[in-house]
């Protein structure tokens, strides 16, 4: 009897071959993405890596590319956060791709973003060198957009943790402002400890100096208060040379915190040994610059020790200091300004009851 021939099983593709094919496809895609951009010049650098001004060879558009070393063991948290962001006052990610480094198998993550020509740091320096006071109108235009960015970030649970003039981009032609550099940013989770040694020293909230590990987005509010004050006076408000000296600089103006205030900043802190110093009135701090009373009132409600007593971003937007922006005729002669009232649902989500106070009666959002 003839034996029935055995039916051959279909050959399975080699997992190794499939992986290699995928790798080749990914490498080709990475190469195509990288070749699309011509790097023009370095516009920023630091421990994080480099930021380049580049040109998209397909569209001719100028972009900023942040190139950072990618540790293969971890996902890049900045990439995870920035790809979620979508707000007029926050930098937007266009695309991201990996490139090979010069050394062996080093890999670099490239984040492609909008190119904004100036930083707030440069603008402040310009007015200081020109011996001119920062225009009150720009104080409002830039301060307002900063709080819009914070309101949005608070709405999606993100704390920036490194707000400073160098991380705030401005377009001098349109006065559009965007918060950038989310390398220190984190989604805060209730009950989850965070590092206290975060944020650039001059803009570091006092609860961080006191070692708090359970903090809130109020640390960003403190930083914005420092930045707004710096716009007025042309230099950092609290120029400490160390963490301790930073606290001394704060105490010189706010006075020595009470034990109760220290507990509100960090319940675990036990050392209260600081000489008793009275607060220095904000009117005297800024006397040389003659700001209006509403500016002083705003600063006094941002720069307070207990984090929960600081204005929240939407409350700051509703402050009378920004009432001029809500006037129908507000503007700068012969210049275009951004839309101040295209609020997102995330932006208004934390305190929706404040929305009527920040929407001017004349404004109708274009659909």
- For the stretch 72-92, pLDDT in tens is 877 899 999 999 999 999 999
Are 30 and 97 within 8 A, CB to CB?
Answer: yes
Least trusted range by pLDDT, from 95-104, 147-156, 270-279: 270-279
Report whether pLDDT(52) > 70. yes
> Encoding tokens for residue 356?
């009527």
Q: What's the predicted TM-score (pTM) here?
A: 0.89
How far lies 146's CA from each of 89, 164, 211, 221, in Å? 7, 11, 26, 10
Six-digit token string for 172: 């001098």
Q: How confident is the model at residue 8 (pLDDT cuts 50, 70, 90)?
A: very low
More reliable by pLDDT, 27 or 241? 241
Q: Rounded to an integer, what is the distance from CA 44 to the centroid of its chain?
A: 16
pLDDT score, position 348 = 96
Average predicted confidence (pLDDT) for the chain: 89
DSSP state of 67: E
**The pairing of beta strand 93-100 with beta strand 107-114:** antiparallel
User: Using one digit for the tens of pLDDT, what is the confidence trace for 348-363?
Assistant: 999 999 999 999 989 8
- Catalytic machinery residues: 162
Percentage helix, strand, coil for the chain under 3-state DSSP, each rounded to 5: 40, 15, 45
The reply to whether 67 sits in an annotated binding site is yes
Residues 21-33, mean pLDDT to the nearest whole number = 54
For the stretch 168-225, pLDDT in tens is 999 999 999 999 999 999 999 988 889 888 899 999 999 999 999 999 999 999 999 9
Confidence (pLDDT) at 29: 56
CB-based contacts of 338: which residues, under 8 Å, 6+ apart?
A: 88, 145, 174, 175, 176, 177
Contact criterion met (CB below 8 Å) for 344 and 87? yes
Write down the domain spans for the chain: 118-358
Model confidence at 97, pLDDT cuts 50, 70, 90, reads very high
Does position 271 have pLDDT exceeding 80, yes or no? Answer: no
- Going from the C-alpha of 315 to that of each of 104, 147, 214, 280, the distances in angstroms are 52, 9, 23, 25
DSSP SS3 for 117: coil
Residue 65, pLDDT > 50, answer yes
| pLDDT above 80 (res 17) | no
**pLDDT over 90 (residue 58):** yes
Share above pLDDT 90 across residues of the chain, in percent, rounded to a whole number = 76
Separation CA 226–CA 146 (nearest Å): 12
Q: At 40, is the secondary structure helix, strand, or coil?
A: strand
Q: What is the DSSP string of 209-241?
A: HTT-SS--THHHHHHHHHHHHHHHHSS-SS--S
Give the fold, CATH level 3, of 118-358.
Answer: Transferase(Phosphotransferase); domain 1 (1.10.510)
Over residues 217-249, the pLDDT tens digits come to: 999 999 999 999 999 999 999 999 998 899 999
Instruction: Write down the pLDDT at residue 133.
Output: 96
Residue 60 has pLDDT above 80, yes or no: yes
19 confidence band (pLDDT: 50, 70, 90)? very low
How distant is the alpha carbon of residue 73 from its chain centre? 26
């Amino acid at each position: 009897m003839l034996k029935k021939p055995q039916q051959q099983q279909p050959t399975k593709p080699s997992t190794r071959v499939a992986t290699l094919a995928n790798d080749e496809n990914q490498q080709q895609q990475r190469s195509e993405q990288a070749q699309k951009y011509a790097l023009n010049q370095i516009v920023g650098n630091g421990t994080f890596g480099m930021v380049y001004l580049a040109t998209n060879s397909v569209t001719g558009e100028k972009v900023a590319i942040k190139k950072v070393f990618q540790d293969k063991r971890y996902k890049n948290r900045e990439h995870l956060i920035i790809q979620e962001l979508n707000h007029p006052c926050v930098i937007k990610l266009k695309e991201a791709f990996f490139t090979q480094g010069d050394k062996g198998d080093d890999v670099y993550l490239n984040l492609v973003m909008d190119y904004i020509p100036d930083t707030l740091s440069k603008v402040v320096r310009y007015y200081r060198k020109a011996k001119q006071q920062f225009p009150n109108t720009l104080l409002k235009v830039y301060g307002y957009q900063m709080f819009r960015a914070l309101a949005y970030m608070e709405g999606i649970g993100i704390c920036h943790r490194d707000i400073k003039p160098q991380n705030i981009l401005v377009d001098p032609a349109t006065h559009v402002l965007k918060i950038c550099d989310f390398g220190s940013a984190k989604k805060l989770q209730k009950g989850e400890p965070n590092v206290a040694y975060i944020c650039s020293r001059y803009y570091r909230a006092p609860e961080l100096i006191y070692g708090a590990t359970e903090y809130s987005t109020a640390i960003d509010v403190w930083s914005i208060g420092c930045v707004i004050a710096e716009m007025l006076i042309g230099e950092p408000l609290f120029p400490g040379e160390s963490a301790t000296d930073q606290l001394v600089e704060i105490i010189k103006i706010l006075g020595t915190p009470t034990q109760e205030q220290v507990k509100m900043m960090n319940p675990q802190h036990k050392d209260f040994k600081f000489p008793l110093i009275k607060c220095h009135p904000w009117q005297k701090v800024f006397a040389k610059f003659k700001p209006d009373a509403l500016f002083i009132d705003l600063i006094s409600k941002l720069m307070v020790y207990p984090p929960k007593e600081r204005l929240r971003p939407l409350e700051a937007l509703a402050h009378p200091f920004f009432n001029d922006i809500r006037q129908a005729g507000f503007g700068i002669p012969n210049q275009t300004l951004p839309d101040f009232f295209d609020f997102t649902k995330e932006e208004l989500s934390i305190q929706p009851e404040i929305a009527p106070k920040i929407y001017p009666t004349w404004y109708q959002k274009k659909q």
